[in-house]
A and B are shown apart, each in its own frame.
Chain A
Amino acid sequence: MPMPSAVTLTVNGAEVSVPQGATVAAAVAMAGQPCRVSVSGSPRGPLCGMGICFECRVRIDGRSHCRSCQILCEPGMDVKTDE
């Protein structure tokens, strides 16, 4: 059951509810997913938490290379971690 102040979005097609103000990186972690696949094929998640390391890149609503730790969740966002 989502909380009253929750935002619901999808991560790789599965619904996730997060508190208002949460970042996409937090939502991806709550969905139990890494953010991206590295150049040589290993899973990666956020490192710096402040938008400089680019490890938290995801695809949001079709847009590639979005730094998920800098972007707040919005209702209905479609987040993909396949890049």
Chain B
Amino acid sequence: MNQFAYDVVIVGAGIVGAACALAFAERGLRVVVVDREMVGGGATAAGMGHIVVMDDSEAQFALTRYSQRLWQKLRPQLPDDVEYEQCGTIWVAADEEEMAEVLRKQRYYRDRGVPAEVLDPSQLKDLEPNLRSGLAGGLLVPEDGVLYPPCAGRFLIEQAQKQGAKIRVGAPVVKAGGGMVQLGNGVEISGQIIVNASGSCSPGLTAGIEVRKRKGHLVITDRYPGFVHHQLVELGYLKSAHSHTSNSVAFNVQPRRTGQVLIGSSRQYGAEHKAVDQEILARMLQRAQEYMPGLGAMSAIRVWTGFRAATPDKLPLIGPWPGDRTLFLATGHEGLGITTSLGTASVLLDQITGTKPEIPFEPYLPSRAAQEYAHA
């Protein structure tokens, strides 16, 4: 039963789906977003909400920097509850080896026009007095920021709705492809283009996508205004984020506009359940206290978990899915979906409309993965 006809049907009302909806609707396309639960209820609700530049690869840098610029442009329009704060990131170096990485990172950013300032131990202490003593230094990246993702997702959806986009929540999607999306309640929605933006659920709808769930834990404290001023990340984070097999934790805290401190992070493959894993939570909190001993006395009011959509090469899948000319992917953003949502939407729109892209989109094409997997 074919009830509806759209130009674009987007599966997933997370921040990536929301950003795509806005981009397509602004271009005058008839758009509908479908989600099993609500706007921003999946990884968008669980994530930390950083708007950061990362440099694991040129492609990752290009997409994060481009996206960060888009967020900066959007910033004047963002309502208060999105809580966008350009607090900056400090990459914290514990030893000389990590300090060498600080210098490399600074050169890399400087060469590409991203402001970044090397901090010696006393400058680090001045900026963040609650970090432990004895650290080697850090790198301040002042244009990085944080926001509150569920409200950011909702804002993007509302903007899309103003441009005529429709939103249908409450029924799971059981099939997506061949110009059609089928909901669990039997309703079928047809579209010229189907976008699978369902994050860690995306492999369930598109067989063959190499996206794995990577579970994370977060803890938030009561309000302690002024305890931390920047997003702080240990440089050891890179070792942790790059590990493909083992469970890992890293020190990563954010100041929220409320004065609360948001504490991460953990990474686990193979964990399918949302339940808090006390073992890894304990490791994560012990790590956080090693860097900021004052956290220990703070009141922790909530713990939650979420699933990142991780790809083998750490790059998202953005573009047409080989074998189904109606099906496009916008998934696999792992821990960077909040940052890269806007860039993803823009890249996807450029691909579909044949517009000259702002950044090269080849590195994100799903076909690269299909080829790699074929060779593997």
Contact = CB atoms under 8 A, between A and B. Distances in A.
Interface string A1-16: 0000000000000000
A2 B192 CA distance: 82
A65 B223 CA distance: 9
Nearest to B297: A63
Interface in A28-83: 39, 63-65
Interface string B285-307: 00000000000010100000000
B188 to A, nearest CB: 46
A64 B224 CA distance: 8
A63 B297 CA distance: 9
B222 interface: yes
Contacts of A63: 297
Interface residues of A, number: 4
Contacts of A39: 258
Nearest to A54: B222
A65 B300 CA distance: 11
Nearest to A64: B224
A64 B222 CA distance: 9
Nearest to A83: B223
Interface in B235-263: 258
Contacts of B224: 64
B228 to A, nearest CB: 15
Contacts of A65: 222-223, 299
B222 to A, nearest CB: 5
Interface in B7-61: none
Interface in B296-321: 297, 299
Interface string B202-237: 000000000000000000001110000000000000
A64 B225 CA distance: 11
A21 B222 CA distance: 28
B193 to A, nearest CB: 43
B265 to A, nearest CB: 25
Nearest to A63: B297
A39 B257 CA distance: 12
B367 to A, nearest CB: 50
B258 to A, nearest CB: 8
Contacts of B223: 65
B247 to A, nearest CB: 32
A64 B261 CA distance: 14
Contacts of B258: 39
Interface string B87-126: 0000000000000000000000000000000000000000
B252 to A, nearest CB: 23
B292 to A, nearest CB: 16
A39 B258 CA distance: 9
B220 to A, nearest CB: 14
Nearest to A66: B299
Contacts of A64: 222, 224, 299
Nearest to B227: A64
A65 B222 CA distance: 8
A38 to B, nearest CB: 11
Q: Give the residue among A39, A63, A64 with the most B Cβ atoms within 10 A.
A: A64
A64 B301 CA distance: 14
Contacts of B297: 63
A63 B223 CA distance: 12
Contacts of B222: 64-65
The 4 closest A-B pairs by CB, nearest first: A65-B222, A65-B299, A64-B224, A64-B222
Interface of A: 39, 63-65
8 contacts: A39-B258, A63-B297, A64-B222, A64-B224, A64-B299, A65-B222, A65-B223, A65-B299
Given A63-B297, A65-B223, 6 more contacts: A39-B258, A64-B222, A64-B224, A64-B299, A65-B222, A65-B299
